[in-house]
Amino acid sequence: MNTEQADPAELEALRAAFDVDDGGESALGWDKVHAFEARHGIVLPEPYRSLVAEVTDGSYAGPPHDGLLGLGELPDDWGGKAEERDLSLPFPLVEEWLWEGTEAERVDSALGPVFNHGSLVLGTDGCGMYWHLVVTGPHRGRIWNITDVGAAPFGAEFGHTTASGGFAGWVAHWAAGKPWFDKEVAAR
């Protein structure tokens, strides 16, 4: 997973997955991507960065189920306040955390940063299940699934799935029509 330089083959696979053939009209362009990065004090990880600049800024085709949100957008059912989000602060997790059943004081103080620091919300599969792309911190470039009961990184190296890590692996897994957590399905 290279978060610094876009692989042309990955970009072509992303273009095919999102079925984009509009000559880049649905993309933001590099000036708007650079302005977003400057405003938030970050550099977006590749290949997501090139996707929104050159291919498309969001898609109804998915992933996730309700479609890929545009850069910096939040889903309609987002419960937090947009002003609490700070992409420049590091995403606080490096391993799965199921907070359901954890003492309330610990959860209350830690949840804000989990939902709001260092990640873009890519979209939702409904029922409070959000997909995030980490943009700052040790898991930069990784996809995380954050729900009302816990958070887990996406990628074969973390369990739960057979997919490659990172944005391109996440999209390829979806495009192949596989369930997100296919490792558990295969084990049954």
Which string of DSSP letters, residue by residue, matches the chain? --SSS--HHHHHHHHHHTT--STTTTS--HHHHHHHHHHHT--PPTTHHHIIIII-S-BTT-SSTT-BPPTT---TT--S-GGG-BTTSPP--SS-EE-TTS-HHHHHHHHHHHHHBSEEEEEE-STT-EEEEE-SSTTTT-EEEE-SSEEEEESGGGSS--SPSHHHHHHHHHHTT--TTHHHHHH-
Number of domains in the chain: 1
User: Per the domain annotation, does 1 fall within a domain?
Assistant: no
Q: Which domain holds residue 44?
A: 8-71+84-187
User: Per the domain annotation, does 89 fall within a domain?
Assistant: yes
Tell me the per-residue pLDDT of 6-50, one tens digit each, with 9 for 90 and over: 999 999 999 889 887 676 788 999 999 999 999 999 999 999 999
Which CATH number fits the domain that encloses residue 40?
3.40.1580
User: Per the domain annotation, does 78 fall within a domain?
Assistant: no
Helix (H, G, I), strand (E, B) or coil at 16: helix
pLDDT, the chain, mean: 88
User: Per the domain annotation, does 115 fall within a domain?
Assistant: yes
From first CA to last CA, the distance across the chain in angstroms is 29
User: Per the domain annotation, does 77 fall within a domain?
Assistant: no
User: Per the domain annotation, does 79 fall within a domain?
Assistant: no
Tell me the per-residue pLDDT of 53-82, one tens digit each, with 9 for 90 and over: 999 999 888 888 889 999 999 998 887 777
Residue 182, by phi and psi: left (phi above 0), alpha (psi -120 to 50) or beta?
alpha
Higher-scoring residue by pLDDT: 10, 97: 10
User: Per the domain annotation, does 58 fall within a domain?
Assistant: yes
- The tokens for 166 are 């990172």
Judged against a pLDDT cut of 60, whether residue 108 lies above it is answered with yes
**Beta-bridge partners for 86:** 117
